[in-house]
Amino acid sequence: MTTAATTPPTRRRTTTTPPTPAPAPARAPEDGAVLLAVAHGSRDPRHAATIHALLDQVRRQRPQTRVEVGFLDFDTPSLDDALDRLAARHTRRVVAVPLLLGRAYHATDDIPGVLDGARARHHRMAIRQADVLGPSPLLLDALEERLRQAGAPTGDPRLGVVLASAGCSDPAVRARMSALAAEWRTRAGWHSVLPAYASAAGPRVPEAVAALRAAGARRVAVARYFLAPGRLPDIARDGAAAAGADIVGDVLGPSPAVARLLLHRHTRALAAPWPAVPTQGQPRRARAASR
């Protein structure tokens, strides 16, 4: 079994799968909103280190945009603290970009709740939530790059791939993962792609590896659909090793494709009109009337 390094070298694509066209990150206007990345957080120190490396990649791609981070749990600064600090610096506009691969509870409840609290505290700072990162063809680009770095040939019809993710009991989320696996198999030309999960309902990674071999795959690779290292990505890796998978890709990490996607989410959120917010001396009722 082979694994890839966490931080890949940037290199020219030489495989048969064409790079996914994506809008170039738009140049932020001078009064453009701060990009506040909202990360999950983890007790594992590798998680925060990887998130910061990803945001460094974002800053290199669009240096004129201010990029900050807030964590939902475990790491600092918390999302609340990050928003309070931005308000203390008289920030006018903030786009909170969830560093989440799917639209589940954190995106639909946790983050909106924190943002609503910040809006109530900081009436002169407009705050908007961008869409989550996944699904996106750019994430498949990043996954393919991780598998190539681990030795997986793109387009090999003998290769079965396990798409390993965190797991969720929500049937809609699981249906989206199944659809993503089918889309990836079609575009990459592999033998088959099966979803597997590190938590909640199965199948687990070892079960998916066995199913691919039973279906006729000559070799099996496990792609880890996680943004950063941590307990669940390690469970997926260890399950792949126990099942005898031939190749295990690294987590997405500070991939240039993921950084482009993050900037694209920020740009799309900026495009809609912003509500007026009160300036110094403007009564709060003016803000309420403008909503």
The pLDDT tens digits of the residues spanning 251-261 come to 999 999 999 99
Q: Determine the Cα–Cα distance for residues 259 and 110; give it in Å rounded to an integer.
A: 23
User: Tens digit of pLDDT for each residue in 163-174?
Assistant: 999 998 889 889
User: Tens digit of pLDDT for each residue in 39-89?
Assistant: 999 999 999 999 999 999 999 999 999 999 999 999 999 999 999 999 999
pLDDT reported for residue 32:
78
pLDDT reported for residue 154:
85
Sign of CA dihedral 74, 77, 82, 85: positive
User: Tens digit of pLDDT for each residue in 183-210?
Assistant: 999 999 999 999 999 998 889 999 999 9
SS3 213: helix
28 and 95 fall within a common domain: yes
112 and 148 fall within a common domain: no
Residue 100 confidence (pLDDT) above 70 = yes
Q: What is the count of structural domains for the chain?
A: 2
167 and 241 fall within a common domain: yes
pLDDT reported for residue 24:
46
Give the closest residue to 253 by CA, choosing from 163, 146, 138: 146
User: In the chain, which ranges are continuous DSSP H helix?
Assistant: 45-61, 79-88, 105, 111-121, 137-149, 171-188, 205-214, 231-242, 256-271, 284-290
111 and 176 fall within a common domain: no
This prediction has a pTM of 0.85
pLDDT reported for residue 272:
87
pLDDT reported for residue 283:
46
Mean pLDDT of 222-250: 98
φ/ψ (deg, to 5) at 6:
-70, -40
Give the closest residue to 195 by CA, choosing from 219, 175, 170: 175
Domain that holds residue 217: 137-248
12 and 45 fall within a common domain: yes
Q: Determine the Cα–Cα distance for residues 184 and 56; give it in Å rounded to an integer.
A: 28
Give the closest residue to 162 by CA, choosing from 213, 229, 199: 213
